[in-house]
Structure 1
């Protein structure tokens, strides 16, 4: 039975070995290690490992800083080399996609491709994401409001409700998203009322959280913190007015107080999909 003090932090090395960009490994590692609050992963990303020389260098690094190894390698020789190396040194190693690929292979009755980075081919979906990113930047923070008629999603919210990063995340999923800030005393653009395509979402948060974020922003900008921008009563009134307006116009509302950007975006996408006719959902299916 372990007697380790659970309050003592653990630092350990995690080697992420991929013959592609390694983004899948990074996401998996972060999602997994987040479940162990007392542990801190020291990340070593070995991306684009596509030659024997690169694999040799990777193995040398793992030997110098042993820990655990997560990998996605298509090439059978390099997979075998990494597996043998880790097995000889009792280093835990797992190919994170193998269980999923095996299950899909059995279900589909088909062999998988041996193409490296197959999910990142320069196909129509890839160019759609690039177009969506360009769109999000061009329609950020109330810019080019008339162009929002072509948006999939429009976000509204007071300052510091994470409108911009959420739009960027949505764009990376292929959704054309823009945002408009709610400024005290300034009405929303009238053109919004006539738009039928965009799915409009209002973002809200607790006044305390908004004040905290705004204070940190002003400190980072080395600006005066004695301003209405962070006045608790003024911020509370901003949020109250925003909620009333969202309700009056029938917009969907999401509270982002305790949500990550990813969680907020996922909820927006769920609401967006539910609002679309089934036929349109099929035509505009995004991966």
Structure 2
């Protein structure tokens, strides 16, 4: 482990190597490693990802690379021989190794009384769920930023509505990866007020709102990143406050559930949307999140 100063801070950060070894794409390990290390302040992992490791020769190369950067090893290796090769190699290197899914798999196995599958990459099977996710992604891209007629929007599971820069598009993309068909319609002063969504019967329409101060900051950053100029109303505090107030009133008048995205990540906003969709399916949709 190597201590170093955190940029912009007087505190020392601890850098360490974490080796992620997977016989599949490595997505599960990557997410788990990020979730765990986020629980420690001042700890920054240096990730080494080895995906699609499915032969003894590949494992040999992995162990050779790990020897040059001692650290912690997380793996999701299913094949018994490959797993034994990795465990033996880690013992020789004096590096701790952890089967990331072992506790959960073991607990479920005992509960279900079922034998474990040794099929590699089982979670990435080209089944109906996979193709539904691809279809949902196509739908989100085809119905982004107000595209599509009212009739076309009827086939959505959810339609997100909000003023500019309330994370509508990335939230729809994230939802698509969860198999949810999501479209979004922006509220544009003097042009689009969302009235056409009132007639929708199938999708759940959700309003996204944000604090005016945060919205002004986001819009200014966006313009700076594009080296663009926009009419002052787009970033004027009074105009933006009026825009957000009108949007929330429109949501409340139409009885749409509202999610405040001011302090939410895309993942958190998507989770709130999923909860609302699930509640609607059980006739328990709430008024606000």
Shared fold (TM-score, shorter chain, > 0.5) = yes
Distance 1:114 1:44 in 2: 25
State the Cα deviation string for residues 136-170 of structure 1 (Å, max 9, x = none).
00000000132111100000011111000100111
Distance 2:68 2:137 in 1: 40
Q: Find the residue that maps to 2:154 and give its secondary structure.
A: helix
1:226 Cα offset (Å): 6.8
User: In structure 1, what is the equivalent of residue 216 of structure 2?
Assistant: 211
Within 5 Å, which residues of 2 pair with 1:122-201? 122-146=126-150, 147-201=152-206
State the Cα deviation string for residues 39-69 of structure 1 (Å, max 9, x = none).
1111111000011221111111111111111
Q: Does 1:228 align with 2:233?
A: yes
User: In structure 1, what is the equivalent of residue 97 of structure 2?
Assistant: 93
Q: Which stretch shows the higher mean deviation, 184-193 or 236-245?
A: 184-193
State the Cα deviation string for residues 106-148 of structure 1 (Å, max 9, x = none).
1111101100010110000100000000000000000013211
Q: Does 1:82 align with 2:60?
A: no
User: In structure 2, what is the equivalent of residue 62 of structure 1?
Assistant: 66
Q: Does 1:20 align with 2:24?
A: yes
| Contact map agreement 1:150 1:197 (CA 8 A) in 2 | yes
Distance 2:123 2:46 in 1: 27
Distance 1:87 1:260 in 2: 40
Q: Does 1:39 align with 2:55?
A: no
TM-score (norm 2): 0.91
User: In structure 1, what is the equivalent of residue 287 of structure 2?
Assistant: none
Distance 2:92 2:231 in 1: 62
| Contact map agreement 1:219 1:225 (CA 8 A) in 2 | no
User: In structure 2, what is the equivalent of residue 270 of structure 1?
Assistant: 275
TM-score (norm 1): 0.92
State the Cα deviation string for residues 211-269 of structure 1 (Å, max 9, x = none).
11111111111113773211111111111111100000000000111111111111111
**Which of these residues, 111, 123, 144, is aligned with residue 107 of structure 1?**
111
1:189 Cα offset (Å): 4.9
User: In structure 2, what is the equivalent of residue 11 of structure 1?
Assistant: 15
